[in-house]
Structure 1
Amino acid sequence: MAKFELIGTATIPGQGSELRLLRRNSEFSIKIAGKTGELMNSRLHGSEDALAELACEPVKTRPSVRVLIGGLGMGFTLAAALKTLGADAEVVVAELVPDVVEWNRGPMGMVAGYPLNDARTTLSVGDVGKLLRTEKQAFDAIMLDVDNGPEGLTRKENDWIYSPKGLQAAQEALRPDGVLAIWSAGRDPAFTERLRRIGFMVEEKSVRAHRPGKGAKHVIWLAQ
């Protein structure tokens, strides 16, 4: 079997950790230098697809629907949102690491079908937290996949997004009856209760990393 080849590195702003992009034939992998395991793999994106589908399905018939994705990753959540939503939608995607954007515009973009090229996509290079702080009643749905979940691994600053203040900001950034969807590698009952204390109605969905019904179980919180 062919081995993975390192084809790109990127520094995570404010953290100093290094992301590494690897390729093996048509398969791509992103890892954090010095840590075991993967952040993401192009073969295993069922839960990233589900994040967009679960968040966008309830709002897709609204006129001029506008949604926000925190974390571009390999582009699968963005691609699934564009597939679910109509022609008049706007999908804002915030990505902290400029190199990840360039990886998606380069050869890695083919795995998700180059969704950055879709005219409905608006790219924001920077911390999604800044958008949550400044945009008020601006989005019909917000999808957050900026780390490993409430127990962040890649960047300490991500903790704010999952804190009561961050969740309150997300609530205020939503339009009436909007949907907040949050991806996590695993369950976190305390986080579920945190969402409820903010005032959200919460559903916890178990989804698979690889479809159909295969791969690790991940969690998506749906909060309205």
Structure 2
Amino acid sequence: MSAPASATTTDHLHDPAAEPVTLDRRDGPYGEVVLRRRGTRLEIIANGCFLMDTSDGRSERLLIDAARDALPAGREAPDVLVGGLGVGFSLAHAAADARWGRIAVVEREEAVIDWHREGPLGAISGAALRDARTVILHTDLVEYLRTTTDRYDALCLDIDNGPEWTVTEDNGNLYSAAGLAMCRDRLKPGGVLAVWSANPSPAFGEALRNAGFTGVRAEEVPVARGVPDVVHLAVRTA
């Protein structure tokens, strides 16, 4: 979500001056969500905030690959939880990798799920949704982490523009000490937490260390303008 999209801007792929065309607009429990087409790209808008588009996807793919690469060597068919379906880049990339086991995706917006199952975003996620390893969980991520007893090898979270730029106020709980403790509890020993951000956050890195994670680091994806997209990584060692 660079500046603040979760996909980086590549102006050579579309006309940035193109007028947006609204394809669907829904009012849900978390406010309004809109699917728009602008030139050749699709955009998701939540409560008037530009969230993500289909112009790139490098940082969403990095979210998945960096988590997998940080897992202990020899771990067979690791399970991954993807927090946020978005435009589908992360899910599609995970499903394209036969090394993953179960691929669970938590998405709280029914409209977003519909746009993938029955709408134009299916062009990105269709094969992944048909993959037997994939399960879509229609629920709020923070609530799911609080109530589930499932544990995963990797949590790949991309529900906000970053720890310091949340889509809704309640999402801030995910990046608090209590929220990070929930994430740690949902990981198997040696499991990896990967969090997407539209900008580097040294304070979040420190919060991860304070929550008992090790191997805390950040990987960057340069963008055409502005600060790079970032994937924050942290490991549960015990």
Give the structure-2-normalised TM-score: 0.82
Question: Is 1:21 the equivalent of 2:35?
Answer: yes
The Cα offsets for residues 71-103 of structure 1, whole Å up to 9 and x where unpaired, read as 0001101111122342x7100000010000001
Equivalent-residue separation in structure 1 for 2:186 and 2:109 (angstroms): 23
Question: In the TM superposition, what is the alpha-carbon distance from 1:61 to its structure 2 partner?
Answer: 4.9
* Matching residue of 1:158: 171
Question: In the TM superposition, what is the alpha-carbon distance from 1:203 to its structure 2 partner?
Answer: 0.8
Question: In the TM superposition, what is the alpha-carbon distance from 1:56 to its structure 2 partner?
Answer: 2.0
Question: In the TM superposition, what is the alpha-carbon distance from 1:104 to its structure 2 partner?
Answer: 1.1
Identical columns (%)? 38
Question: Is 1:222 the equivalent of 2:233?
Answer: yes
Structure 2 unaligned segments of length 5 or more: list them: 1-14
**8 Å CA contact retained: 2:88, 2:121:** no
Equivalent-residue separation in structure 2 for 1:132 and 1:54 (angstroms): 21
Q: 1:6 aligns with which of 13, 16, 22?
A: 22
Q: Secondary structure at the match of 1:69?
A: strand
Equivalent-residue separation in structure 1 for 2:96 and 2:85 (angstroms): 16
User: CA distance change for structure 1 residues 163 and 181 in 2, over 3 Å: closer, same or farther?
Assistant: same
Comparing 1-10 and 197-206, the one that deviates more: 1-10
Question: In the TM superposition, what is the alpha-carbon distance from 1:151 to its structure 2 partner?
Answer: 1.9
**8 Å CA contact retained: 1:203, 1:221:** yes
Equivalent-residue separation in structure 2 for 1:157 and 1:12 (angstroms): 15
Superposed counterparts of 1:59-138, under 5 Å = 59=71, 61-86=74-99, 89-105=101-117, 106-136=119-149, 138=151
Q: Which AA in structure 2 matches 1:151? A: E
**8 Å CA contact retained: 2:33, 2:111:** no
Q: CA RMSD in A?
A: 2.1
Equivalent-residue separation in structure 2 for 1:83 and 1:99 (angstroms): 24
Equivalent-residue separation in structure 2 for 1:156 and 1:12 (angstroms): 16
* Matching residue of 1:51: 63
**8 Å CA contact retained: 2:92, 2:124:** no
Q: Which AA in structure 2 matches 1:219? A: V
Comparing 152-161 and 26-35, the one that deviates more: 26-35
**8 Å CA contact retained: 1:137, 1:173:** yes
Q: Secondary structure at the match of 1:39?
A: strand
Q: Secondary structure at the match of 2:161?
A: coil
Q: Which AA in structure 2 matches 1:28? A: L
* Matching residue of 1:176: 189
**8 Å CA contact retained: 2:194, 2:233:** yes
Equivalent-residue separation in structure 2 for 1:193 and 1:104 (angstroms): 36
User: CA distance change for structure 1 residues 102 and 199 in 2, over 3 Å: closer, same or farther?
Assistant: same
**8 Å CA contact retained: 1:137, 1:176:** no
Equivalent-residue separation in structure 1 for 2:134 and 2:74 (angstroms): 18
